[in-house]
Amino acid sequence: MLNRTIKWAGLLVAVHCASFALPADTGPSFDVASVKPVMRTVVPHAVSLNINHGTVTFDAAALRQIIGLSYGVQRVRVKGGPSWMDTELYDIIAKTESPDASKEQVMVMMQALLADRFKLLVHRETKELLVYSLVVGKGGSKLKEASDSEKPSSTIPISRFAFQVRKMSLVTLVNTLANLLGEPVLDKTGLTGLYDYGLDLTLDRSQLQEPQGGPSPPVDMSSLIFEALQDQLGLKLEAQRSPAEVLVVDHAEHATEN
Query: Do the domain assignments include residue 256?
Result: no
59 and 142, same domain (yes or no): no
91 and 158, same domain (yes or no): no
Query: Do the domain assignments include residue 112?
Result: yes
Query: Do the domain assignments include residue 257?
Result: no
User: Could you give the angle at the alpha carbon of 193 between the alpha carbons of 102 and 227, nearest 5°?
Assistant: 115
3-state secondary structure (DSSP) of residue 65: helix
CA distances to 186, 238, 241 from 132, rounded to whole Å, are 6, 5, 9
CA distance 62 to 56: 16
pLDDT, averaged in runs of 10, over the chain (258 residues): 36 42 60 89 70 90 94 93 94 92 93 95 94 95 89 59 83 87 93 91 54 52 89 95 93 85
Letter string b/e over residues 12-41, b meaning 16 or more CB atoms within 10 A of that residue's CB = eeeeeeeeebbebeeeebbeebebeeeeee
134 and 182, same domain (yes or no): yes
What is the pLDDT, as a whole number, of residue 45?
A: 65
122 and 137, same domain (yes or no): no
Query: Do the domain assignments include residue 182?
Result: yes
Amino acid identity of residue 110, one-letter, is: M
3-state secondary structure (DSSP) of residue 125: strand
Query: Do the domain assignments include residue 258?
Result: no
Query: Do the domain assignments include residue 140?
Result: yes
What does the pLDDT look like over 115-132, one tens digit per residue? 999 999 999 999 999 999
CA distance 175 to 179: 6
69 and 140, same domain (yes or no): no
What is the pLDDT, as a whole number, of residue 151?
A: 77
Query: Do the domain assignments include residue 165?
Result: yes
119 and 151, same domain (yes or no): no
Looking from the CA of 65 toward its CB, the CA atoms found within 13 Å total 23
Domain of 9 in residue numbering reads as 2-126+245-251
What is the pLDDT, as a whole number, of residue 162?
A: 78
What is the pLDDT, as a whole number, of residue 16?
A: 41
Query: Do the domain assignments include residue 202?
Result: yes
